[in-house]
Structure 1
Amino acid sequence: MDFSAYQQLRFERRANGVLLITLDRPEKYNAADEVMHGELARVWTDVSQDPETRVAVVTGAGKAFSAGGDLAMVQRMAGDHARVSHMLEEMSALVYTMVDCTKPIVSAINGVAVGAGTVVALLADIAICAEDARIGDGHVKLGVAAGDHAALIWPLLAGMAKARYYLLTGEMISGAEAERIGMVAKALPREQVLPEAIRVAETLGTGAQQAIRFTKRTLNNWLRAQGPIFEQSAAYEMLGFLGPDVLEGAAALEEKRSPEFPSAK
């Protein structure tokens, strides 16, 4: 498999069939614009089909895992039916290609992970997080429903009470707290996150491949069973991009102030 066509994802082959994938837009804290979001939506199919890869590790370049959706992309989407419709399809592709990827995925959450970054971080089969990282789903603070992946997996990972709290408030969670409530498998000092993710990946890469892959496939039926919930959340999120609140939410983020949503007046 030739990964050279990717622009914002960097690939490095490691021993024992491990493919290290780095979100590589550090000057923007690896925020996903249209290019990166599209690449994240198709890379897992390529990983699944790559005969040299037995397990993938995904991390972020620089200080962040991913700062979510690029604000300029959000502003381009607002009120644009064609862009919103395309994003709805791409969002579904990102989620389902991760769920359906035949190879195990390990995330090394080295820093902040929000929005699209949280999708990749938490839909990975094994998530290893820096204790001081910050994880969150801030859709409601932007003025749209919590779509992407959140309604799909947060209740399964942390339980409904915690999912309701964090998704309705948009508050962030530290890596240490994320481990405590079951959002991630491990929380470690930041400098240990990637080495531990590689160690885990090499364990998977040298294990019984069919057994590991079939176990992943079976466990992910929990996610497939929630497909209608995910589809509804994604549609509601995209509907929000056609309303007035998202314009105020994006402006508030850009101006670093609290939003004054039209729907709350």
Structure 2
Amino acid sequence: MNSIELKIENNIAKVTLNRPETFNSFNREMALKLQNTLDSCENNDEVRAIILTGNGKAFCAGQDLKEVTSPELNPGFRKILEEHYNPIVQRIRSIEKPIIAAVNGVAAGAGANIALACDIVIASEAASFIQAFSKIGLIPDSAGTFFLPRLIGFQKASALMMLGDKVTADQAEGLGMLYKVFSVDTFEEESMKLAIKVAQMPTKALGLTKRLLNQSMVNTLDQQLEIESDLQIEAAESNDYAEGVNAFIEKRKPVFKGN
């Protein structure tokens, strides 16, 4: 069984974590395969949006603890972080295509933080988010300490990370942790509708927007204004900008090509 499933259709790459028997927890093989799959999506011009989701009842339960407690299989925490999770998060943020985390079930530990690193996070009503690290004496990783305080504020993030409280999908939406919650029955359909909408938008402009958001994490106001100017000029030279302006003047729906 493939630990990562990839289906490309309608300019959308649907990437599915596929170890349902372990609630899609990561082992080394799945982590490396996810990196390779994201690379292939980045380099495929047909792909204009990416959905990351899970198979079965869970989105991702984080690290497979059987791997780290096995004398034969345990790669060690440094290798797990530097070769598994950190490169996944770095790819999610560096790929200049929109990545949607479609959280279908529990997202715990690294699984939660990988979801929160995505551009748009949606969730099924059955989903939940748990910063589970403190429950086993560890600290949050996979950029959780970077993204979560920025999403929901320092105090809430600190409490969730220290206490390891379970957050329901509705609570997560209320906190600003995610974009929207959908019913279990409509979740897959709504996920695809959102992905289709995003894939039909001006992909280059969305990629440049993503680059700006990344820079906003570290830039001063003056630095951000300067890079906005540079990237707006780049966006204005795109075919999609010309199409958008023409469509506006002609009072029709634009047909963006993503370049």
TM-score, length basis structure 1: 0.76
Pairwise CA RMSD: 2.0
Q: Specify every segment of 5 or more residues in structure 2 that has no aligned partner in the other structure, as ranges.
A: 220-259
Instruction: Provide the residue aligned with 1:7 in structure 2.
Output: 2
Instruction: Provide the residue aligned with 1:199 in structure 2.
Output: 193
- Structure 1 residue 89 and structure 2 residue 77: aligned? no
Instruction: Provide the residue aligned with 1:25 in structure 2.
Output: 19
User: Helix, strand or coil: the match of 2:150?
Assistant: helix
- The 5 A counterparts of 1:142-221 are 142-221=136-215
Q: Deviations over 1:170-223 (max 9, x none)?
A: 111000000000000001212222222211111111111211111111112245
Instruction: Provide the residue aligned with 1:130 in structure 2.
Output: 124
Give percent identity, aligned residues only. Answer: 30
Q: Specify every segment of 5 or more residues in structure 1 that has no aligned partner in the other structure, as ranges.
A: 1-5, 226-265
Deviation at 1:48, TM superposition (A): 1.2
User: Helix, strand or coil: the match of 1:161?
Assistant: helix
Residue 42 of structure 1 contacts residue 97 of structure 1 at CA under 8 Å; is this kept in 2? no
Which of the two has higher C-alpha Rg? 2
User: Helix, strand or coil: the match of 1:59?
Assistant: strand
In the aligned structure 2, how far is the partner of 1:24 from the partner of 1:174? 23
Instruction: Provide the residue aligned with 1:34 in structure 2.
Output: 28
The letter for the 2-side match of 1:50 is N
Residue 128 of structure 1 contacts residue 186 of structure 1 at CA under 8 Å; is this kept in 2? yes
Instruction: Provide the residue aligned with 1:248 in structure 2.
Output: none
In the aligned structure 2, how far is the partner of 1:108 from the partner of 1:48? 19
In the aligned structure 1, how far is the partner of 2:139 from the partner of 2:32? 21
Count of aligned pairs between the two proteins: 217
In the aligned structure 2, how far is the partner of 1:129 from the partner of 1:223? 25
Which residue of 84, 102, 106 maps to 2:100? 106
Could you say which structure has the greater relative contact order, defined with CA pairs below 8 angstroms and 6 or more residues apart?
Answer: 1
Instruction: Provide the residue aligned with 2:41 in structure 1.
Output: 47
Deviation at 1:71, TM superposition (A): 1.4
